[in-house]
């Protein structure tokens, strides 16, 4: 304290001197006063540490912070299981057409999953991943976004792409890798992408899209565009190192991105209690300095409200937001998985029959008289017929010409690559009886 009293006395002398005409003393006084001010700030906030790494209070009580001592993130909910509004003030007041679109896309996705899953089981495609139980996260989030927002998906967001207008035949063409596939048969099934709909092609490798999404959000910030990036991932991807890199970069760079975590209980066969000890994924957002909320992923309205506000924060405040949507993966992880090996049939049955997002929204629609039993039966018959018709068309469509594997690598094909293409064409032409050439378009 003596040092601070001395500083105060020096300031009094300097103030008196500054009233005279000593040359350059005014500027010297101003600079020294600023320095003194910083000392006085420290004196006035003696209970607050000013370390560069953290600003926190001091205590003489040795107390370790244990994870059980923190309040858990609550789960935001708008509709209960019966499809009733819990708090009318939280009603998003969506137009009836929007609600009907939500329901029809959720059920269309479900029917597509059923048909394509069986298609893989019959050996018609090599691989498939269903979206059963997570449809509410798709339509709730997609409806709240702007079409120009850039989406980085993982591989269980088919409903998001369908909401933006990606047609059934393109979904199935991608899974079959036929000539109608935008990716020309070069990706595994369910690895969708569409430049026109601002949906980046999905990558198999877990969590690689997270730092990439942050990079694109930084580019959007630098160019001043009125849009944001949405990065979808699962609780398993959140265990990868790339997720932490993405979170930290987004917070320190203040980029307009929404991290949307589908916490469906399992990372393939690993349940969440074996993945982490903390309070889910939401607690990580707080740790990284990211605005965070946890929502009921089986409640499409809760997801809509959360994403709508998250988008406002991301775009208007240029900062990241983390949404953890609590849901349940009713289907197997993929066609390469048998979930009965690590969870009970009763557990799956409970979530499928008691808390299915499709059922919850249907209950709401029936409560509002927007839907009834007759409409339900007619729609289910219509959507099943549409999916089957598209499926049959995709199955009959030829696959791309083998020559296309040499294209799109260079703007102009170099001679060495052209030579390889010609060699392949001659080889297949000579031994065509050994190749399923009838299933492909003719070699150019």
Residue 84 catalytic? no
Sole residue written with tokens 């598209």: 390
Range of weakest confidence among 36-45, 85-94, 363-372: 36-45
Assign a CATH topology to domain 73-396. Rossmann fold (3.40.50)
For 185-220, write each residue's pLDDT tens digit.
999 999 999 999 999 999 999 999 999 999 999 999
Name residues whose C-beta falls within 8 Å of residue 321's C-beta, 6 or more positions apart in sequence. 257, 258, 259, 290, 291, 292, 293, 310, 313, 314
Active site residue 269: no
Mean pLDDT, rounded, of the chain: 90
- The percentage of the chain sitting over the pLDDT mark of 70, rounded to a whole number, equals 89
How much is the pLDDT for 400?
Answer: 94
Mean pLDDT of 298-305: 98
- The whole-number average pLDDT for the span 373-380 is 98
Catalytic residue among 56, 204, 336, 340: 204
Confidence of residue 134 (pLDDT cuts 50, 70, 90): very high
Residues 43-52: b if buried by 16+ CB within 10 A, e if exposed: eeeeeeeeee
118 is known as an active-site residue: yes
Poorest-pLDDT segment among 11-20, 224-233, 270-279: 11-20
What confidence tier does 42 reach under pLDDT thresholds 50, 70, 90? very low
From 27, 118, 347, 382, the catalytic residue: 118
Residue 17 has pLDDT above 70, yes or no: no
Catalytic residue among 283, 334, 339, 394: 334
Residue 21 among the catalytic residues: no
Predicted confidence (pLDDT) at residue 39 exceeds the cutoff of 70: no
Residue range 143-155: mean pLDDT, rounded: 97
Question: Tens digit of pLDDT for each residue in 171-185?
Answer: 999 999 999 999 999
Confidence band of 13 (pLDDT split at 50, 70, 90): very low
Catalytically annotated residue among 243, 333, 339, 394: 333
For the chain, the domains span 73-396, 402-439
């Amino acid at each position: 304290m003596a040092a601070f009293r001395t500083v105060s006395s020096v300031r009094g002398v300097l103030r008196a001197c500054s009233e005279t005409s000593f040359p350059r003393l005014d500027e010297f006084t101003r600079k020294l006063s600023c320095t003194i001010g910083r000392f006085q700030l420290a004196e006035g906030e003696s209970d607050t540490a000013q370390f560069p790494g953290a600003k926190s209070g001091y205590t003489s009580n040795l107390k370790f912070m244990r994870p059980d001592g923190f309040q858990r993130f609550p789960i935001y909910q708008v509709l209960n299981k019966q499809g009733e509004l819990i708090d009318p003030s939280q009603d998003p007041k969506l137009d009836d057409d929007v609600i009907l679109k939500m329901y029809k896309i959720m059920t269309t996705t479900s029917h597509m999953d059923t048909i394509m899953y069986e298609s893989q089981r019959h050996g018609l495609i090599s691989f498939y991943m269903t979206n059963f139980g997570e449809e509410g996260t798709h339509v709730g989030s997609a409806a709240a976004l702007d079409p120009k927002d850039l989406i980085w998906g993982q591989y269980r967001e088919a409903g998001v792409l369908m909401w933006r207008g990606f047609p059934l035949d393109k979904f199935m063409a991608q899974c079959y890798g036929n000539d109608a596939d935008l990716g020309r048969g070069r990706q595994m099934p369910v690895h969708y992408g569409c430049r026109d709909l601002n949906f980046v092609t999905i990558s198999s490798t877990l969590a690689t899209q997270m730092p990439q999404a942050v990079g694109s959000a930084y580019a959007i910030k630098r160019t001043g565009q009125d849009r944001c990036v949405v990065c979808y991932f699962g609780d398993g991807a959140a265990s990868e190192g790339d997720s932490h890199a993405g979170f930290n970069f987004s917070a320190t760079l203040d980029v307009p991105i929404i991290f949307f975590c589908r916490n469906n209980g399992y990372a393939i066969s690993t349940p969440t209690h074996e993945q982490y000890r903390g309070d889910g994924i939401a607690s990580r957002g707080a740790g990284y300095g990211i605005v965070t909320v946890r929502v009921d992923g089986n409640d499409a309205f809760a997801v809509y409200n959360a994403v709508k506000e998250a988008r406002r924060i991301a775009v208007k405040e240029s900062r990241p937001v983390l949404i953890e949507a609590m849901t349940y993966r009713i289907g197997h992880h993929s066609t390469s998985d048998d979930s009965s090996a690590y969870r009970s049939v009763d557990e799956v049955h409970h979530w499928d029959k008691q808390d299915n997002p499709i059922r919850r929204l249907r209950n709401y629609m029936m409560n509002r008289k927007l839907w009834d039993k007759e409409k339900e039966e007619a729609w289910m018959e219509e959507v099943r017929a549409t999916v089957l018709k598209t499926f049959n068309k995709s199955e009959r469509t030829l696959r791309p010409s083998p020559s296309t594997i040499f294209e799109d690598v260079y703007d102009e094909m170099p001679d060495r690559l052209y030579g390889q293409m010609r060699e392949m064409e001659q080889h297949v032409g000579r031994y065509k009886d050994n190749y399923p050439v009838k299933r492909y378009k003719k070699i150019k």
